[in-house]
């Protein structure tokens, strides 16, 4: 009898377990919103998102400079990470013998395991002094944060782009080569067009990573909550603001940090949703 | 003027190759730099000693202990839930609105940044459930964080088990659950192990989540309800507050080696899995 019982229980139990991921996601969203939304309603979105003065003790909660900083840091990181990462992926897939490729891809993914605090520390010890001596400014800056984040997202961009390029049927390439195209012509006229959505998705996912990254950014960005005028100015991103003040925050101040969390959560979920739709469209239209 | 295709070909290969080399060089530089600066500090006394003077001197034993316990707690949450979800998706249902919703939820959860997990763990486990800053709160939050990794890799591993195995099992009168338990899961085990090891690596390198949920106490934790500081957080505090660069590099070196070792185990496990699969399908 016991065996039958196993089987009777298994299906509903597993179905319930299958809800765990969605349930966690909803629970997270609910609690961040529960803490953050009342604050946003109370202070008002125009004040919260649109003003530049952050002084919780005196009831001023403008996060505009942090939004601008997060935006620039993310854009900068993409300017560095996306071309390098996609170029690397194309080179590894199309211009390198498969055995070398099979050795390099896991290596790159292993490197994704470098803890983000280590990236941040190297930013402080190596990159910031370089910027200070050669370009001026305090060193800990928007530029430093963008470069560090750009390096950090490389494994994400490479890994997902490689999958997208490898998923292009070999017959596409062979067709182009048979028509007399050079390897590079086949790649940029045929393969890249076919793999475009996957590559775009890798960049959007990397953007989500960059917006959400915290510890490395705290260490290298300089954390001055002012709207930056140049790439060499120190900046304070949304994530850095939350992480630095959370330990000491209480009451309205803590709620305001959760409200920043709401903004972040909304932006990143939006980016993820776009990336997932792009990927899904590709898999549906694939032959 | 049109450039001859032969030249664009050369140019493209040169530029792409340079970009690839630059990428690999930067990533390799980071590891070599940290190990070169850090390894001289790493001695047996450093690994087994208690920290002194806020970590300025002494060893890092309590942080190693915390770094070992937190991933284990996370696995206690993520492994049963993750494998259960994967079994349900792969064995008990067809593609439907429900499975698409589960996949979408899983992918979204995978994209949630660690600072949000930290905020959630803080307000839910630390405050609402009254766990305080503790290993337990940290481990549970990490468990939710790595759930998507376990689900995805486990589902892939389960789907990679040949259908013939299931058919043989069912034809011998096994029930669906017996087939899953005695045939599918044992064969998918190496693949599942890959996901588990990747999850452990993710927990080891994580800082923001733990900082918010497990606190920063620099003692040997006596119970799961104690606050504790893993290597990642210890390194962060040493580096950020400029307490000791030497010990910071030392901690970073140990941390990187631990993460690389875990990741290598994951790849080795996956290769064993793929090799066995290839042999059996011949």
Neighboring chain A residues of B84 at a CB cutoff of 8 Å: 13-14, 17-18, 20
- How close A51 gets to chain B, by Cα (Å)? 24
Structure tokens at A62: 């403008």
pLDDT of the residue at B49? 83
What's the confidence (pLDDT) of residue A2?
A: 53
Q: Judge: A218–B240 Cβ closer than 8 Å, yes or no.
A: yes
Q: By three-state DSSP, how is residue B86 classified? A: helix
- The nearest CA of chain B is from the CA of A50 a distance in Å of 23
- Domain range for residue A234? 2-285
Q: State the pLDDT confidence band at B57, using cuts at 50, 70 and 90.
A: confident
Closest Cβ–Cβ partner in B27, B88, B235 for A18: B88
Q: How far is the alpha carbon of B48 from chain A, nearest alpha carbon, in Å?
A: 22
Residues paired with residue A54 on neighbouring β-strands, in sequence order: A61
CATH of the domain at A135: 1.10.3720.10
Query: Could you report the predicted ipTM of this complex, rounded to two decimals?
Result: 0.88
Report the distance separating Cα A113 and Cα A152, nearest Å: 10
Q: How far does the CA of residue A39 sit from the closest CA of chain B (Å)? A: 15
Measured in degrees and rounded to the nearest 5, phi and psi for residue A34 equal -60, -35
> Region B194-199: what's the mean pLDDT?
89
Rounded Cα distance, B63 and B55, in Å: 10
Work out the number of other CB atoms within 10 angstroms of the CB of residue A176: 18
B203/A94 Cα distance (integer angstroms): 34
B107 and A258 within 8 Å at the Cβ level: the answer is: no
Cβ–Cβ below 8 Å for B5 and A185: yes
Nearest to B20 among A91, A126, A219 (CB): A91
Give the C-alpha separation, B111 to A209, whole Å: 8
Structurally, how many domains does chain A consist of?
Answer: 1
Note whether A149 and A73 are within 8 A (CB). Answer: yes
Contacts of B260 (CB under 8 A, 6+ apart): A110, A113, B31
pLDDT at B264 over 60: yes
Cα B233 from Cα B227, distance rounded (Å): 12
- Chain A positions in Cβ-Cβ contact with residue B128 (cut-off 8 Å): 31
Burial of B167 (C-beta count, 10 Å sphere; 0-12/13-18/19+): exposed
B173: left (phi over 0), alpha (psi -120 to 50) or beta: left
User: Model-level pTM?
Assistant: 0.89
Q: What are phi and psi of B57, to 5 degrees?
A: -135, 180
Look at A26 and B1; give whichever has higher pLDDT.
A26
Contact A185 B8 (CB under 8 A): yes
Strands B51-52 and A60-61, sheet pairing = unpaired
| pLDDT tens figures, B114-126 | 999 999 999 999 9
pLDDT reading at B281 higher than 60: no
Nearest CA in chain B to A152: B27
Nearest Cβ partner for A116 among B15, B34, B205: B205
Q: Which residues of A touch B120 (CB under 8 A)?
A: 27-28, 31-32
CA A85, A268, B84, A31 dihedral sign is positive
Q: What is the pLDDT of residue A37?
A: 92
Residue B217: both structure tokens together: 């106490």
Cα separation of B53 and A151, whole Å? Answer: 34
Q: Which pLDDT score is estimated for B220? A: 86
Give the pLDDT score at B73. 96
The confidence score (pLDDT) of residue B87 equals 93
Give dist(CA B137, CA B224) in Å, integer. 9
Nearest by CB to B111, from A84, A118, A205: name it: A205
With cut-offs at 50, 70 and 90, classify the pLDDT of residue B1.
low
DSSP 8-class letter at A231: T
Superfamily in which the B44-281 domain is placed by CATH: MetI-like (1.10.3720.10)
- With a pLDDT cut of 70, the percent of chain B lying above it is 98
Q: Which of B27, B124, B205 sits opposite A115 (nearest CB)?
A: B205
What average pLDDT does range B223-248 have in this prediction? 88
pLDDT of residue A110: 73
What pLDDT, on a 0 to 100 scale, did the predictor assign at position A282?
Answer: 60
- Kind of pairing, strands A60-61 and B57-58? unpaired
CB count in 10 Å sphere of residue B261: 14
Average pLDDT of adjacent 10-residue blocks, chain A of 287 residues: 71 89 94 92 88 86 92 94 93 88 79 85 92 88 94 90 90 91 89 89 90 92 86 91 87 91 92 82 54
Judged by CB atoms closer than 8 Å, whether chains meet at B16 and A119 is answered as no
Annotate A126-195 with DSSP letters as a single string. Answer: IIHHHHHHHT-S-SSSHHHHHHHHHHHTHHHHHHHHHHHHHTS-HHHHHHHHHTT--HHHHIIIIIHHHT
Rounded distance between C-alpha atoms, residue A278 and residue A165, angstroms: 15
- Per-residue pLDDT, averaged over B77-86, amounts to 95
User: Are B5 and A181 inside 8 Å of each other by CB?
Assistant: yes
The residues that bridge with A61 in the sheet, in sequence order, are A54
pLDDT value, residue A36:
92
């Amino acid at each position: 009898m016991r065996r039958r019982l196993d089987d009777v229980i298994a299906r509903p139990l597993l179905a319930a377990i299958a809800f765990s991921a969605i349930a966690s996601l909803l629970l997270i969203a609910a609690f961040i919103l529960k803490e953050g939304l009342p604050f946003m309603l109370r202070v008002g979105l125009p004040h919260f998102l649109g003003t530049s003065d952050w002084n919780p003790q005196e009831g001023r909660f403008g996060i505009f400079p942090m939004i601008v900083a997060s935006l620039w840091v993310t854009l900068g990181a993409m300017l560095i990470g996306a071309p390098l990462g996609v170029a690397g992926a194309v080179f590894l897939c199309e211009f390198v013998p498969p055995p070398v490729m099979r050795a390099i891809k896991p290596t790159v993914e292993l490197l994704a395991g470098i803890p983000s605090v280590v990236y941040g520390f190297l930013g402080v010890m190596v990159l910031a002094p370089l910027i200070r001596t050669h370009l001026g400014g305090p060193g800990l800056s928007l530029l430093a944060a963008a470069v560090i984040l750009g390096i950090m997202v490389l494994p994400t961009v490479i890994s997902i782009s490689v999958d997208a390029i490898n998923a292009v049927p070999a017959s596409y390439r062979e067709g182009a080569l048979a028509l007399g195209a050079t390897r590079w012509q086949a790649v940029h006229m045929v393969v890249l067009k076919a793999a475009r959505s996957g590559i775009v998705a890798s960049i959007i996912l990397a953007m989500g990573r960059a917006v959400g990254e915290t510890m490395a950014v705290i260490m290298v960005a300089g954390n001055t909550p002012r709207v930056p005028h140049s790439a060499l100015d120190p900046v304070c991103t949304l994530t850095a603001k939350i992480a630095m003040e959370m330990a000491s925050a209480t009451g309205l101040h803590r709620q305001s940090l959760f409200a920043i969390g709401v903004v972040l959560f909304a932006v990143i979920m939006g980016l993820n949703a776009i990336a997932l739709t792009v990927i899904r469209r590709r898999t549906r239209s694939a032959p | 003027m049109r450039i001859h295709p032969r030249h664009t070909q050369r140019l493209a290969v040169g530029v792409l190759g340079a970009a690839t080399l630059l990428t690999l060089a930067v990533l390799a530089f980071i590891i070599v730099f940290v190990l070169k600066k850090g390894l001289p500090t790493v001695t047996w006394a450093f690994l087994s000693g208690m920290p002194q003077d806020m970590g300025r001197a002494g060893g890092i034993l309590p942080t190693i202990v915390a770094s070992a316990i937190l991933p284990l707690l996370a696995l206690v949450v993520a492994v049963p839930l993750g494998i259960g979800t994967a079994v349900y998706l792969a064995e008990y249902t067809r593609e439907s609105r429900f499975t698409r919703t589960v996949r979408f939820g899983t992918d979204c959860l995978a994209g949630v940044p660690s600072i949000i997990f930290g905020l959630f763990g803080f307000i839910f486990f630390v405050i609402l459930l009254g766990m305080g800053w503790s290993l337990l709160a940290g481990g549970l939050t990490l468990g939710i964080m790595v759930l998507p990794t376990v689900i995805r890799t486990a589902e892939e591993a389960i789907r990679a088990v040949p259908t013939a195995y299931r058919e043989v099992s069912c034809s011998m009168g096994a029930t669906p659950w017996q087939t899953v338990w005695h045939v599918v899961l044992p064969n998918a085990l190496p693949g599942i192990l890959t996901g588990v090891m990747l999850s452990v690596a993710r927990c080891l390198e994580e800082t923001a989540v733990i900082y918010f949920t497990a606190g920063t106490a620099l003692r040997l934790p006596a119970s799961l309800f104690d606050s504790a500081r893993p290597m990642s957080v210890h390194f962060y505090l040493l580096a950020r507050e400029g307490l000791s660069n030497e010990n910071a590099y030392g901690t970073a070196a140990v941390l990187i080696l631990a993460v690389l070792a875990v990741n290598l185990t994951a790849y080795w496990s996956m290769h064993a899995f793929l090799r066995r699969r290839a042999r059996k399908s011949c």
